[in-house]
């Protein structure tokens, strides 16, 4: 009787291990984790494009509104916070606090850019500048792509977090240290692209 129980236990353990290490177990979780990390890289890429566009936008506006120093200072401070306070790598997705810091810094830059774009009402010649119009259009496109990539990132996180929370994935996740990923939670105002008027 003891041999039968031992044999039965060995068979159950073997079948469970075989199931966990197939594409439905460990490999599936690795693929989903990599999908989340890849989507996070897409989010970072769009933010980097926006960050790279800012100096050109500021330089163009400075030519027309050089005495609006408060807006320029705000943008410079927001950009420096992004570079200095939050190290960007995929590990940020596993730490909700770091993710919140990153989002806060991005929201501050977005608010500063909105203030910069609102200067066009006070400077009609700036509004008519072709270079400024082009930069404004690029910024609007980037903001829309940021919103799209954040949604795709959250979709990937939902799928991954669900996989590591359900049986038998949760066993594999605990055994191999798969951690849940943080969602991107933007403020309602931060999720809207800046108003661009021509």
- 8 in a domain, yes or no? yes
- 198 in a domain, yes or no? no
**Domain total of the chain:** 1
> Using 50, 70 and 90 to split pLDDT, how confident is the model at 197?
very low
pLDDT score at 153: 96
pLDDT score at 198: 38
> Using 50, 70 and 90 to split pLDDT, how confident is the model at 4?
confident
Residue numbers of the domain that contains 31: 2-176
* More confident site: 21 or 77: 77
pLDDT at 151 over 90: yes
- 153 in a domain, yes or no? yes
* More confident site: 30 or 13: 30
- 30 in a domain, yes or no? yes
The per-residue pLDDT for range 72-101, each reduced to its tens digit, is: 788 888 877 776 545 566 788 898 888 888
Tell me how far CA of residue 25 lies from CA of 19, 104, 114, 162, in angstroms.
Answer: 7, 36, 46, 13
pLDDT score at 87: 55
Q: List the CATH number of the domain containing 83.
A: 1.20.1440.20
């Amino acid at each position: 009787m003891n041999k039968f129980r031992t044999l039965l236990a060995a068979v159950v353990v073997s079948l469970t291990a075989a199931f966990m290490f197939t594409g439905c177990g460990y490999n599936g979780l690795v693929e989903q984790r990599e999908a989340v990390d890849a989507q996070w890289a897409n989010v970072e890429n769009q933010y980097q494009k926006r960050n790279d566009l800012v100096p050109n936008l500021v330089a163009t506006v400075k030519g027309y509104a050089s005495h609006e120093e408060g807006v320029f200072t705000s943008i410079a401070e927001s950009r420096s916070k992004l570079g200095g306070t939050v190290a960007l790598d995929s590990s940020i997705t596993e730490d909700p606090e770091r993710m919140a810091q990153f989002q806060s810094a991005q929201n501050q830059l977005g608010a500063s850019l909105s203030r910069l774009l609102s200067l066009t009402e006070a400077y009609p010649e700036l509004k008519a500048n072709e270079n400024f119009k082009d930069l404004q259009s690029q910024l609007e496109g980037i903001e829309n792509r940021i919103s799209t990539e954040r949604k795709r990132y959250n979709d990937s996180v939902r799928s991954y977090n669900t996989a590591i929370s359900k049986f038998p994935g949760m066993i594999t996740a605990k055994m191999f240290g798969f951690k849940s990923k943080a969602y991107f939670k933007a403020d309602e105002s931060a999720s809207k692209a800046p108003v661009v008027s021509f």
